[in-house]
A and B are shown apart, each in its own frame.
Chain A
Amino acid sequence: MKSREELIQDYIDNVLSAEDKRGFDILYENDAEFRAELRMQEELTEVLGRRLSSGEKTLRASLVEAETTHRKGKRISWKQWLIPLAAAACILIVVKFVFFQSDTALYKLPEMQSEVVRGNQGNDAHDYERAVEAFNAKDYRKSTSILLDLYQTDQTILQYQFYLGLSLIGEKKFDEAISYLSPLADGESVFRQEANYYVAVILTESGRIEEAKKRLSRIEQSSKIYDKAQKLLGKIK
């Protein structure tokens, strides 16, 4: 004879035998405590099942990562970063002037055009203009933040996605930038040619020269970015 607890679990898991079902029914009919226990166990099972397969663990990993990044950003004082920054700037200047005198133009991000996207949609249009302002002032952190919001609001507007990718390049977040630009580069939109070019720039920066060449060779002659693409191709060959 099974215990009350076993009958309850067998019922919840739908594995009650015909014989046990009779015992279960008798208890259910005549015992209020049994019914209350069954209700509670059903609720526990529902909550546990939901919580244990909720994906909370993955979310926590992202939260920890975001917290670490945020706190790291706060903790570094100006004294700590000033010297390495100055050193890095000197190296960069030397490298740029000695080795890559003409690369600046090839890597330069275009100006973001001020315009109304798909009809004037109030807040979105206003935010887009703020993004234009920040992007053109090279405040890429700010433009990324605004463009990300816009992109999340409407992922069908590819213009948001394109400039978000470029803004991330401005922030030197190349992995993230490529995740936004690659679908455009592989797609059929008006951003295809330019997206291919900037994906190639990222690939070049990452030392993935062969992939960069492939991207650049896809750019059509009729494209306004074709000349730049050819120059970059010549540079990396």
Chain B
Amino acid sequence: MHNDQKYIQFLLQNNGEGIQHIYRQFADKVVALICRNSGTNDDGFDILQESLVDIYHMAKYKDFQLTTSFESFLLLVCKRKWLNELKKRKRKEVTNVDNHVFDIEDDSHTAYMEHMVLVEKENILMELLDSLGERCQEIIKRCMVSKNQEKIATSLGLTYAYLRKKKSECMAKLGEKVRAHPFFKSNN
């Protein structure tokens, strides 16, 4: 096990002191990287937070093992995330980007690629869920975390049969959005 695996444990255990330690060790490096590449301090901290959440999901879902230092892995995730953010902002033409900074096709990093793509896919799904109507979001979110749908129906003031019908309609709508999203189109 890589010695830096402890940083992953800090995230998995939501260890307050450990997380403070991560910020002390790595925040300035991430922020500097983003600032050198057309971002602001706030962008840097946002990217760091989102990247740490991504790493948490990677580690929580699968038996994730570091094969490099945590710093190297974190910077890789941050770079990829920032690149996606720049694409989103349609700022691909930015001139102030370090040469090779987004060259992420390093052999030592290919092992991470599968994890990163999977988390990106899941993040998009969560964004699509948030783009549904409020009622649909509520029904899906509640049905996914509790199996007692009769209780959910009562608390929402619906009949059980109507809740089932609405849930299937909402999930079908979400499925349509997933199919229509460019990421899933290009990855199918």
A and B assemble together: yes
A residues near B144, Cβ cutoff 8 Å: 45, 48-49, 52-53
A-B residue pairs in contact (CB < 8 Å), sample of 20: A5-B171, A6-B164, A9-B164, A9-B168, A40-B178, A41-B175, A44-B125, A45-B171, A50-B61, A51-B125, A54-B57, A60-B53, A66-B23, A67-B48, A70-B23, A70-B27, A71-B45, A148-B21, A149-B6, A153-B6
* Cβ contact of B20, chosen from A3, A45, A69, cutoff 8 A: A69
CA distance in complex: A211, B158 (Å): 53
* Cβ contact of B175, chosen from A44, A50, A70, cutoff 8 A: A44
Residues of B bordering A, CB below 8 Å: 3, 6, 9-11, 14-24, 27, 45, 48-49, 52-53, 56-57, 60-61, 122, 125-126, 129, 140-141, 144-145, 149, 164-165, 167-169, 171-172, 174-175, 178-179
Contact status A52-B14, CB under 8 Å: no
- Number of residues of chain A lying within 8 A (CB) of chain B: 42
**Main secondary structure on B side of the interface with A:** helix
**Main secondary structure on A side of the interface with B:** helix
Compute the total of residue contacts between A and B using a CB distance below 8 Å: 108
A residues near B21, Cβ cutoff 8 Å: 145, 148-149
Supposing A5-B168, A13-B149 touch, asked if A60 and B57 sit within 8 A by C-beta, the answer is no
CA distance in complex: A59, B11 (Å): 7
Say if the beta carbon of A30 comes within 8 Å of chain B. no
Give A131 Cβ to nearest chain B Cβ, in Å. Answer: 14
A residues near B48, Cβ cutoff 8 Å: 67
